[in-house]
Structure 1
Amino acid sequence: MSSNASFKRWHFIHTWSSLICTVFLLLLCLTGLPLIFNHELDDLLGNHIAAPEMPAGTPAAPLDKLADAARAYRPGEVIQYMIWERGEDETATLVTAPRPDTHPDSTQSLVSDTRTGGVLGQPPSRGLVFILLKLHTDMFAGLPGKLFLGFMGLLFVVSIVSGVVVYGPLMRKLDFGAIRRQKGRRLRWLDIHNLLGTATLVWVTVVGVTGVVCTLADVLLTAWRNDQLAEMVAPYKNLPPPTHLASLDVSVANAKAATPGMVPSFIAFPGTNFSSGHHYAIFMRGDTPLTSNLLRPVLVDAETGRLTESRELPWYVTAVLVAKPLHFGDYAGMPLKLMWALLDVATLVVLGSGVYLWFARRGQSRRRLEKLHARPGQPAAVK
């Protein structure tokens, strides 16, 4: 195949892979920008519930006290999860629902004080951050929406690779950062498009790939439940459900003893997606910035509090755990968030300029055809 034919093929791939996914990528970039600052946005909107000031070294309340207070606050509901956010040792989030298997969109979160055990409040369940997150993750279409956005992400990666093939040789002929301002609007925007595309190349690839991985989270979680988790809880398969729940404090103490150097990230109560009908699944995490997103599940018998089994998560679940904070720039505090936001804005310019260049090219081709038709004696076959 000649080099000219190869160029046309790659140009066709780049053009159409970009155009097909551009509208959805614009949605993802526009919603993703405020989500980079989701914690700060919650603070600004008054949705963040903070614990009151107390003397340093105030001891933590028993976990069972937190659970009892949450049940009293939401009578008739069960606790699905108890969650500790990184850097917020004074509070814990307890997720309650009518049933253990209630869909996450129909649950309610409570913020509790880990020192007093009391409920501090109930944050809004359908606020701005929730709407932005749903638009960004599944467009309010559930799993089909997630998989569709994952496919758009794959097209985005294809457009990045094909763009490097098409425009890489062109960029080598220009000084880096050169904008041909005297060559007309279309060429000027082409140079801006290529420059920003080159400057954001690594970032958009990382965000695109991690975004695709995140859209597969539900599928990969189901695979883990049907594979590793099913093996871990197999001895309990034919046993009746527990008649009472063991102490959370005893259960967590046993989990800590089995995982030295790790702290609880969240507890999945019996019957939820991360556990079985007979277990507390206590997910332990590392206590450093680099290991805080690496989890290890510890299964504890929900009736006796006795440790039953613990295994490293399979690679595909670990990939999701690593991909999500990297996708949103949630690894190194505000400096990384600001960098992510700047690169997000640059990507919006790349996407918008790409659409403009496509329409400008079509308009230029149409004008050329009109000029050909306008020439005297032009054969009728030329159309």
Structure 2
Amino acid sequence: MASARALRTWTWLHTWSSLVCTVFMLLLCLTGLPLIFHHEIGHLTGTEVEAPDIDHRGPRASLDAVLQAARARHPERVVQFVSQDEDDDRIWFVTLTPTPEPTDDFRSVAVDARTAQVLAEPRFDEGFMWVMFKLHVDLFAGLPGKLFLGAMGLLLVIAIVSGVVLYAPFMRKLEFGTVRRDRSPRVRWLDLHNLLGIVTLVWALVVGATGVINTWADLLVKAWQVETMNTLLAPYRGQPVVPQARRGPVQRALDVALAQQPHKRLSFIAFPGTAFSSPHHHTVFLRGQTPLSSKLLQPVLVDARSGEATAAPTLPWYLTALLVSQPLHFGDYGGLPMKILWALLDLVTIVVLGSGLYLWLQRRQPRPLPDEARAAPGPAGATTRSLSEPQGTLR
């Protein structure tokens, strides 16, 4: 009796956690599919900025000359970040906004790192891929949208775990991979739903869990600022943001940071007063050169006035988890083969989600099929019909 009661509890938990999140998970799977190949799509559509093939043998342009060229395009804006692509250091991307505070109102200027010539002003805040990105990240609702999708991700994890618990008794008298093609369409879809769900189990847990972590990014950065940055900035307490006219050369800040960490490469520089820096520093974020370490960041705080490195704090574990989860969520660790695998698993998951919704809707029919009650054998004390219900969505 206790076993039957526990089974009913797991069934209820799986059914309703799945039903609540299924529509949103379908949306995330559909929008996530093109995002897996965002670089490849950009190259095909011509929206990716590529460095011109020129014969340049002299010294590269100073970063300050690069910034001057970008500011000339938008003199009313301030620089928030400057970055380089992981695979191509011939282009600087300069991000300019109306104020240093976080905003969706930004302009990007791509500048040739060799000549300081402006190459393009790509718009990352419009077009099909931007719509897909915003729907996938926050539903166009900012932080509340991110946290809502994070809650849906937690329900997905619950649905997966409860689905695994229900899978063992469901398959007690069936061989693994059995799809009873001689039974009703509903039973065939139930078998296929459970088979595909258990096959994609690990992937679904990984993508679901990393997706939840990614929705907390803004809060984790705020926690880091309160926990670590405030301590490091104690000597600067009460001082205003360093004005542009009194800041030292940014190229010097970069050189100082690279001298501190000679085996690392630049990821991006956050300017004073922006979300990833302090009011008094250029914060240079460096990354490693291996596939894993290239996803991890080491900040170096360089005083914006004096150009001296004042700290190189180690990121806390929760930001490290965030940095690891972001590329893993989109399959960015193994190049194109891993992206293709991620896309195939994403398509299978869409089938699992859709079939779970179909099975639940079929359950609501007033007259179940005659063989439906025998779809799954159950332990003593549990009705066989309770095990034959779809239990929502098992990914």
Smaller-chain TM-score bracket: over 0.9
Q: CA deviation at 1:172?
A: 4.8
Q: Which residue of 1 aligns with 2:391?
A: none
Question: Per the alignment, do residues 360 and 262 of structure 1 end up closer, same or farther by CA in structure 2, a change over 3 Å counting?
Answer: same
Residue type matched to 2:80 in 1?
Q
Partner of 1:295 in structure 2? 297
Equivalent pair of 2:82/2:268 in contact (CA under 8 Å): yes
Does the C-alpha gap of structure 1 residues 365 and 95 become closer, same or farther in structure 2, counting only changes over 3 Å?
same
Distance (Å, rounded) in 1 between the aligned partners of 2:241 and 2:356: 58
Name 1:177's counterpart in structure 2: 177
SS of residue in 2 equivalent to 1:292: helix
Residue from 359, 363, 379 that aligns with 1:357: 359
User: Over residues 215-258 of structure 1, what are the superposed CA-to-partner deviations in whole Å (9 max), with x where a residue is unaligned?
Assistant: 00011111111110111122112224434221111111111111
| Structure 1 gap ranges (5+) | 369-383
Q: Distance in 2 between matches of 1:44 and 1:88?
A: 18
| SS across alignment from 1:275 | coil
Q: Deviations over 1:357-378 (max 9, x none)?
A: 111122155789xxxxxxxxxx
Check if 1:20 corresponds to 2:20. Answer: yes
1:218 aligns with 2:218: yes
Give the SS at the match of 1:89: strand
Alignment check: 8 A CA contact 1:171 1:194 kept: no
Determine whether 1:98 maps to 2:107. Answer: no
1:341 paired residue number? 343
Counterpart amino acid of 2:12? Answer: F
Corresponding residue number in structure 2 for 1:108:
107
Give RMSD over aligned pairs: 1.6
Cα offset, 1:57, TM superposition? 6.2
Query: What is the aligned partner in structure 2 of residue 66 from structure 1?
Result: 66
Q: Secondary structure at the match of 2:365?
A: helix
Point out where structure 2 has 5 or more consecutive residues left out of the alignment. Answer: 371-395
Report the equivalent of 2:285: 283
Report the equivalent of 2:152.
152
Paired residue for 1:377? Answer: none
How far, CA to CA, are the matches of 1:114 and 1:171 in structure 2? 60
Cα deviation digits, residues 61-100 of structure 1 (max 9, x gap): 2111111111111112111000112102211211001111
Q: Does 1:307 align with 2:320?
A: no
* C-alpha spacing 1:326/1:172, structure 2 compared with 1 (3 Å): farther
Distance (whole Å) between structure 1 residues aligned to residue 92 and residue 295 of structure 2 = 17
Deviations 1:318-358 (CA, angstroms, capped at 9, x unpaired) = 11111110001011110000000000000000000000111
Q: Percent identity?
A: 51
Pairs within 5 Å for 1:4-153: 4-55=4-55, 59-103=59-103, 105-124=104-123, 125-153=125-153
Q: How many residues align?
A: 367
Query: Pairwise mapping of residues 193-272 of structure 1 onto structure 2 (< 5 A)?
Result: 193-242=193-242, 243-272=245-274
Q: Secondary structure at the match of 2:364?
A: helix
Residue 274 of structure 1, aligned match among 276, 281, 284? 276
Q: Secondary structure in 2 aligned to 1:106?
A: coil
- Cα deviations across residues 184-203 of structure 1 (Å, max 9, x unaligned)? 11110011101100110000
